[in-house]
């Protein structure tokens, strides 16, 4: 494995993060675009990036893409051990930014956090979009455990074996920096989900969500439970599922990277169909 750092791709240089103090936590936040605000919460992977997917959304919305405490360039902060801590953190972030109502979208772990947010503050979000969400599974479904996967297995699962085609999105700094960053993110991910892979409390609370909800599912899910998207849609009142098809094989968990234009169009169309009544 080479020790040389690759040239930073153009898309990754387009938007360096600002720092916003939320309590004791300096949050790395990328923000771009105009229009109604849309808060996007990233997966356990793919922090430190402003993707073509974000840029597509920013052509129609004021996109806010923070990094979770403990992920990317946002430090863990004291006391971040459960989903409620992240819910309170993001409520405080919106208050800090002076935003009362926003559209909310999340991917993977970020979708799970977004669902928790929308159950605790159901009137704060004009719409909710959950992209390949994690955290739920069917009663007889086998366990999908990313913590037991090697880095090579994890990459293959995220992209359904096509990970080499998307190396520029996963190899940002070169070895060893990428490995160290991945380890730090994985540590925060484990602290949050190691003993809470599947969330029965969330299942019981999803009926509180009042935002119009879109759940976007890949054709072949290898990271979250295959039934997770359908389960979210079943439990959230009025939610609908859209399966986003792949371009060169069954679409995978990493939809924001693999199919950015179609995904941005889906999210934007859903949010535009339910404009905010207040900002």
Average pLDDT (207-215) is 98
User: Left, alpha or beta for 234 (phi > 0: left; psi -120 to 50: alpha)?
Assistant: alpha
Residue 176's pLDDT is what? Answer: 79
**Lowest mean pLDDT: which of 107-116, 155-164, 206-215?**
155-164
What is the pLDDT confidence band of residue 248, given thresholds at 50, 70 and 90?
A: confident
pLDDT exceeds cutoff 50 at 2: no
What is the pLDDT confidence band of residue 3, given thresholds at 50, 70 and 90?
A: very low
pLDDT exceeds cutoff 50 at 69: yes
| Phi, psi for 183 (deg, rounded to 5) | -65, -45
Higher local confidence (pLDDT), 232 or 46: 232
CA distance 177 to 35: 36
**Share above pLDDT 70 across residues of the chain, in percent, rounded to a whole number:** 93
Residue 1's pLDDT is what? Answer: 38
Higher local confidence (pLDDT), 141 or 69: 69
Q: CATH number of the domain at 10-272, out of 3.40.50.1820, 3.30.360.10, 3.90.550.10, 3.40.640.10?
A: 3.40.50.1820
- The answer to whether the CB of 137 falls within 8 A of the CB of 199 is no
Cβ within 8 Å of residue 165, ≥6 positions away: 159
pLDDT exceeds cutoff 60 at 81: yes
Average pLDDT (215-226) is 95
**Lowest mean pLDDT: which of 55-69, 79-93, 172-186, 256-270?**
172-186
Residue 115's pLDDT is what? Answer: 98
What is the pLDDT confidence band of residue 15, given thresholds at 50, 70 and 90?
A: low
**Share above pLDDT 90 across residues of the chain, in percent, rounded to a whole number:** 71
* 3-class SS string, 157-204: HHHCCCHHHHHHHCCCCCCCHHHHHHHHHHHHHHHHHCCCCCCHHHHH
- The answer to whether the CB of 104 falls within 8 A of the CB of 81 is no
Residue 197's pLDDT is what? Answer: 85
pTM: 0.92
Average pLDDT (80-88) is 93
pLDDT tens digit string along 131-161?
999 999 877 777 788 888 998 999 999 999 9
Domain boundaries, the chain: 10-272
């Amino acid at each position: 494995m080479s020790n040389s750092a690759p040239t930073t791709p153009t898309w990754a240089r387009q938007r360096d993060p600002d720092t916003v103090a939320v309590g004791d936590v300096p949050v790395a936040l990328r923000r771009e675009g105009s229009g109604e605000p849309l808060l996007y919460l990233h997966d356990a992977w793919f922090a430190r990036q402003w993707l073509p997917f974000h840029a597509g959304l920013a052509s129609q919305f004021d996109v806010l893409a923070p990094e979770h405490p403990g992920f990317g360039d946002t430090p863990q902060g004291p006391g971040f051990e459960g989903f409620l801590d992240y819910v309170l953190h993001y409520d405080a972030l919106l208050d800090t930014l002076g935003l009362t109502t926003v559209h909310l979208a999340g991917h993977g772990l970020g979708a799970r956090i977004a669902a928790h947010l929308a159950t605790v503050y159901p009137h704060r979000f004009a719409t909710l979009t959950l992209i390949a969400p994690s955290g739920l599974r069917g009663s007889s479904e086998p366990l999908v455990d990313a913590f037991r996967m090697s880095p090579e297995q994890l990459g293959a699962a995220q992209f359904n074996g096509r990970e080499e085609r998307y190396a520029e999105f996963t190899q940002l700094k070169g070895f060893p920096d990428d490995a160290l960053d991945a380890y730090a993110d994985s540590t925060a991910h484990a602290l949050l989900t190691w003993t809470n892979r599947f969330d029965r409390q969330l299942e019981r609370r999803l009926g509180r969500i009042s935002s119009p909800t879109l759940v976007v599912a890949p054709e072949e899910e290898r990271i979250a439970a295959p039934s997770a998207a359908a389960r979210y849609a079943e439990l959230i009142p009025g939610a609908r599922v859209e399966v986003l098809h792949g371009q060169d094989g069954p679409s995978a968990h990493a939809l924001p990277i693999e199919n950015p234009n179609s995904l941005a169009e889906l999210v934007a169309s859903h949010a535009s169909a339910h404009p905010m009544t207040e900002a």
